[in-house]
């Protein structure tokens, strides 16, 4: 039986599916069915329109930040609706947020669930490696037959794709902004209640049990940074 607080994450791979609701309705129904009958509450739902091959998921980052702030679990309709990327799955397992998959009810949240998901990621990584070896063997066979391989543009094909330190710093700032946006709804609710100073907001966040980015209590300085990031991202 599902118990506790949950953040729902749904993903479709095409914009048309996102607009029409195709795929989303089935995922939402799976989540509702899984949670039905338990002492639970869905705090928020995040919907991502992104390919399963990509690990750039701003909505997923926001969902994890929201769950971590509220001490909630993130629930997914199906594991294959989350990702086919082994590194992304490993990063999620190490995020410290409990992950729940409706199609894997035998995988519990908590340390045991994270262990099982890590083993699943290892098996998936093995399969990726085996596929890579088979691909290399097939390419070698094709080359032996005289098939021309590679990009005819050579080094020009790589132009503009190098990742430098500036991009790494930008990525860190982007992640911080995404975490801030995950808390935007909570902060706006506090402001609507008449609490507007950074010190008072910090006290209210602590009273609500919302964790700071470092996992501890909120202080006025941290709240000021949070408000600034929310304003910049708006």
Query: Residue 18: pLDDT band by 50, 70, 90 thresholds?
Result: very low
pLDDT per residue over 19-52, tens digit each?
A: 545 578 888 888 888 887 656 778 899 998 876 5
Neighbouring C-beta atoms of residue 88, cutoff 10 Å = 19
Residue 16 has pLDDT above 60, yes or no: no
- CA angle centred on 125, ends 58 and 9, rounded to 5°: 30
Pick 4-120's CATH classification: 3.40.50.1390, 1.10.1370.30, 3.40.50.11540, 3.40.640.10: 3.40.50.1390
Give the pLDDT confidence score for residue 124 in this predicted structure: 62
Catalytic residue among 8, 13, 41, 231: 13
Rounded Cα–Cα distance for residues 187 and 170 (Å): 25
Domain ranges of the chain: 4-120, 165-233
Query: Phi/psi zone of residue 100: left (φ > 0), alpha (ψ -120 to 50 degrees), beta?
Result: beta
Please tell me what DSSP assigns to residue 109: S
Residue 80 has pLDDT above 60, yes or no: yes
Rounded Cα–Cα distance for residues 104 and 116 (Å): 11
Rounded Cα–Cα distance for residues 111 and 117 (Å): 10
Give the pLDDT confidence score for residue 46 in this predicted structure: 92
The question of whether 33 is a catalytic residue gets the answer no
Radius of gyration of the chain (CA): 21
Rounded Cα–Cα distance for residues 53 and 63 (Å): 19
Pairwise pLDDT comparison (233 vs 229), residue with the higher score: 229
Give the pLDDT confidence score for residue 153 in this predicted structure: 54
Rounded Cα–Cα distance for residues 78 and 93 (Å): 15
Give the pLDDT confidence score for residue 156 in this predicted structure: 53
DSSP, residue by residue, 72-96: -EEEES-HHHH-S-HHHHHHHHTTS
Rounded Cα–Cα distance for residues 229 and 227 (Å): 5
Across the chain, what does the average pLDDT equal? 77
Residue 17 has pLDDT above 50, yes or no: no
């Amino acid at each position: 039986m599902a118990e506790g607080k949950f953040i729902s994450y749904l993903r479709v791979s095409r914009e048309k599916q996102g607009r029409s609701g195709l795929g989303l309705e089935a995922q939402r129904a799976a989540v509702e069915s899984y949670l039905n009958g338990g002492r639970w509450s869905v705090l928020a739902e995040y919907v991502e329109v992104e390919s399963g091959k990509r690990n750039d998921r701003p909505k997923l980052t926001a969902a994890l930040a929201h769950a971590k702030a509220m001490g909630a679990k993130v629930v997914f309709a199906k594991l294959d609706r989350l990702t086919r990327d082994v590194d992304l799955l490993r990063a999620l397992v190490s995020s410290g947020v409990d992950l729940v998959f409706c199609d894997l009810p035998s995988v519990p949240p908590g340390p045991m669930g994270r262990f099982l998901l890590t083993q699943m990621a290892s098996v998936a990584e093995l399969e990726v490696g085996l596929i890579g070896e088979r691909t290399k063997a097939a390419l070698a066979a094709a080359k032996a037959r005289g098939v021309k391989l590679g990009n005819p543009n050579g080094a020009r094909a790589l132009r503009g794709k190098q990742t430098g330190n500036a991009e790494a710093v930008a990525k860190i700032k982007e992640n911080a902004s995404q975490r801030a946006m995950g808390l935007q709804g909570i902060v706006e609710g506090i402001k609507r209640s008449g609490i507007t100073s950074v010190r008072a907001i910090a006290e209210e966040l602590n009273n609500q049990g919302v964790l700071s980015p470092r996992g501890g209590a909120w202080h006025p300085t941290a709240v000021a940074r949070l408000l600034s990031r929310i304003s910049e991202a708006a």
